[in-house]
Amino acid sequence: MDLQIFIAFFIILRLRKKFKTKTAFPQWEKILLGLMFVCIALFTVQASFNFLKPLSGWIANGVVAVVLGIIYLNDEFSSERPTMFAVLPLILVSFVEDVFKLISISFYNKIHYFFEAASFFAFIWMIALLIINNKQRKALIKEQSKTHEEEQKNKFMASMKAQLEIQVAERTAELTSQKETLEEALTELKTTQAQLIQSEKLASLGELTAGIAHEIQNPLNFINNFSEVNTELIEEMKEAIAKGDSEEVLAIAADIAANEQKINHHGKRADSIVKGMLQHSRNSNGIKEPTDINKLADEYLRLAYHGLRAKDKSFNAAMKTDFDRYIPPINVIPQDIGRVILNLITNAFYAASQPSALPDDTVAANHKTPTVWVTTALIPPTEDEGTLVSLTVRDNGPGIPANIMDKIFQPFFTTKPTGQGTGLGLSMSYDIITKGHGGQLTVHTSEGTGTEFTILLPA
């Protein structure tokens, strides 16, 4: 029967192609190739010699059995088993047919319609199974490609993740370096701020220098003058002694003693000015000590006045003081409070000598004498607060415009032309009073009338 040979040939071809036996399974390739030649030989024999047909049919049955056996017994061809099951019925029918032919050809002839029908159904079965197998195979391939796709996707994601991690690391490094740069900038800023504070101190010292020179010159003049007078008096005393005028001698001696006291007084005055100057330029040691606030205010008022006076010859202003004599010494850092007082007074003198900003100001108001009032007072305790000492610095300048009122305590804010003010005076003053001494620094201003700064310190 031709069918077995076709099927065997077809299956062998399929096996060789599918499993690439030429390269993958050389040992099977030999056998399969051999079987293939057998098939071709059988085919040729059947076509040429009709009498050899039954024998070749049995050899074909054997070849088919061997091929199917190979597929069934060897795991490497397991994926071809569905094909085996597809062809099996057809082969079995052919085999049985051959068996009947061999036993009794006449009986076979009687029932050969039955075999034809069985072959037909087996053939349909084969086709159907092959189609189903093919479909399943395609689905499997699809599934495999899907898995492969997913794997690719996963790989891609993994590589993306790695890339992201690198980016994150890069960003982190960038941010860290930025942070370091910022920290450096901050340190630099702090240093600059410290330097600015120092230069503000030096600037105020510069303002003071002329005042200090004037303040020292006066006592020195007195010291020189009184000492010259004493030299003269001693000569006169000698003359009086020679004359024996003891009354005159005693009078002169009293004068000399009085002059010595004056010399001593002015010497001390110069001394305290120099000490105050040193204290002002020195970095604050932060030690609070009992201080006469009136004396401190008076000292800095004079220094500020003479300092401005020396800088600008045409500057003149009236100073009016009203000190409360009953203020006890209060615990403050003298150089710090001195700095605040100096700052407020210098500002007040500056403001007082400014022309009024109001356009409708009368001529008389424009010709008012620039005046600065410094007032101290003891404020009795209330329910909320203990005894306070107030120090008020008032000027009759143009006042502070409303639009800059909330800025005056800000660091670096100044209304003076560039280079003339550091803009640190009031902000430093505010810090010294509030943070350094637990006090208050308040301001009241009225445009065209003047400004009043008040320091409140706990007594």
Give the one residue of 33, 66, 229, 253 binding another protein; rule: CB under 8 A. 229
Of 169-177, 261-269, 339-347, 419-427, which segment contacts another protein by CB under 8 A? Answer: 261-269
> Does 310 interact with another protein (rule: CB under 8 A)?
yes
Contacting residue, 318, 357, 365, 405, with another protein by CB under 8 A: 318
Residues 345-404 touching another protein, rule: CB under 8 A, are: 369
Q: Report how far residue 191's alpha carbon sits from residue 334's, in angstroms, rounded to the nearest whole number.
A: 25
Give the contacts of 351 (CB within 8 A, at least 6 positions apart): 395, 397, 398, 399, 450, 451
* Residue count of the chain: 459
Which of 16, 262, 288, 368 is the binder for another protein (CB under 8 A)?
262
Show the tokens assigned to 132: 């189903």
Strands 318-322 and 289-291: unpaired
- Contact between 313 and another protein by CB under 8 A: the answer reads yes
- Burial status of residue 301 (CB atoms within 10 A of its CB: 0-12, 13-18, 19 or more): buried
8 Å CB contact between 7 and 39: no
- Measure the CA–CA gap between 422 and 206, rounded to whole angstroms: 13
Taking CB under 8 A as the criterion, the residue among 266, 339, 394, 437 binding another protein is 266
Binding flag, residue 255, another protein (CB under 8 A): yes
- Residues 6+ positions from 112 with CB-CB distance below 8 Å: 97
| Range in contact with another protein (rule: CB under 8 A) among 181-189, 314-322, 354-362, 382-390 | 314-322
Contact region with another protein (CB under 8 A), list: 95-103, 256-264, 409-417, 445-453: 256-264
Exposure string over 310-343, b if 16+ CB within 10 A, otherwise e: beeeebebebeeebeeebeebebbbbbbbbbbbb
Sequence-ordered alpha helix ranges (H) in 244-317: 246-281, 293-311
CB of 247 to another protein, least distance (A): 14
User: Site for another protein (CB under 8 A): which residue of 218, 291, 353, 454?
Assistant: 218
Assess 220 for contact with another protein (CB under 8 A).
yes
- For residue 353, give the 3-state DSSP assignment: coil
214 near another protein, judged by CB under 8 A: yes
Name which of 101 and 306 has its Cβ closer to another protein: 306
Stretch binding another protein (CB under 8 A), from 117-125, 145-153, 289-297, 305-313: 305-313
- Binding interface with another protein (CB under 8 A): 214, 217-218, 220-222, 224-226, 228-229, 233, 255, 258-259, 262, 265-266, 305-306, 309-310, 313, 316-319, 369
